[in-house]
Amino acid sequence: MEKTINVKKIVLQNLVLLGIIVLCIVTAIVEPLFLTQDNFTNILRQFGPLSFAALGMTYVIIGGFIDLSVVGTISLVGVVTLSLIDPIGQAGALFCGLLLGTFLGFLNGVILVKFGAMTQAEVLFITYGMSSIFGAIALIYTNSETEHMSRLSNPYTIFTFIGNGKIGPFTASIILFVIALIIIEWFYRKTLWGRQIALMGGNKTAATLCGYNMKKTLVLVYTICGLFAAMGSIVLISRVTTASPVAGAGYETDAIMSVVVGGTALAGGTGSGIRTVLGVLLIILLSNCMNMLGVSTYLQTIMKGLVLVIAIWLDNRKEQQIH
């Protein structure tokens, strides 16, 4: 009996990994082209933008909050970064893009603190409003037009490398993501600020009684999310060589889905960037497999919705078992 319970526990703890394996096996049997190198390269390139956005979202959710403004951040950072390549060069444009995303995240945090928004429901609507503002600025900035790297006068080799370059068998964006993941996970697990994020998500009252400044921690997690959304935006424009003022549409849903599917508690307090990677991989593989099998866009949307509903249901079951 004890052995059965242990097996069940192992399966429940690794449902995402199991889902990835089953999905790959079924698709490979039905569509042999799934196992080709070109398809794997395509999966890795899709992995870049979403993985950065989801990683930043991870720590916001661990902190007990949520961020819908990544849509506007990705769109605005993309168009501004690409437009600055000619005036100030590609290195300067890259730096300004990262700085802009970090500032937008910081601005989100400051506004939430000023408004006294300390619950997930409150920040949900405020960050949705901020996303609309950022998106509108992107539309005004570009006059609602898509920008193209091919029309630039200055070289954009750094962006070409980020979007399509490879170091050995791995794409440049994947290597950059792994470096970022190692740094942020070390920060989360080994520093006082990182422990404050988890404690804030687990019990804000206890964190305050321990002397932690929850307002500063809230600003920190949103600043981190803005920075990672900017990284995702830069990887995106580097891969597609265009910047659209609506390019971020849908990334907030996929990022939240990846985090929850990966096992981070939606209520906050516990989670892992490493497990979010598995969530991102499952979401991307799901889309890739359904595309290869010729599943319609509408059915794909239904499937993604089902995955999110099941993930939240499982998350609630875990919370009930804990309490």
pLDDT score of 128: 95
pLDDT score of 141: 96
pLDDT score of 98: 97
pLDDT score of 4: 47
Question: Tokens 């866009």, residue?
Answer: 297
Q: Could you tell me if 189 and 257 are in contact, meaning their C-beta atoms sit under 8 angstroms apart? A: no
Which ranges of the chain have pLDDT less than 50?
Answer: 1-4, 322-323
pLDDT score of 44: 76
Q: How many CA atoms lie within 13 A of 156 on its CB side?
A: 28
pLDDT score of 169: 77
pLDDT score of 319: 56
Q: CA-CA distance, 38 to 136, in Å (whole number)?
A: 37
The kind and range of the H/E element at 167 are: strand 166-167
Q: Could you tell me if 261 and 279 are in contact, meaning their C-beta atoms sit under 8 angstroms apart? A: yes
Its pTM stands at: 0.89
Q: CA-CA distance, 17 to 51, in Å (whole number)?
A: 16
pLDDT score of 320: 55
pLDDT score of 145: 94
pLDDT score of 316: 64
Q: Could you tell me if 57 and 225 are in contact, meaning their C-beta atoms sit under 8 angstroms apart? A: yes
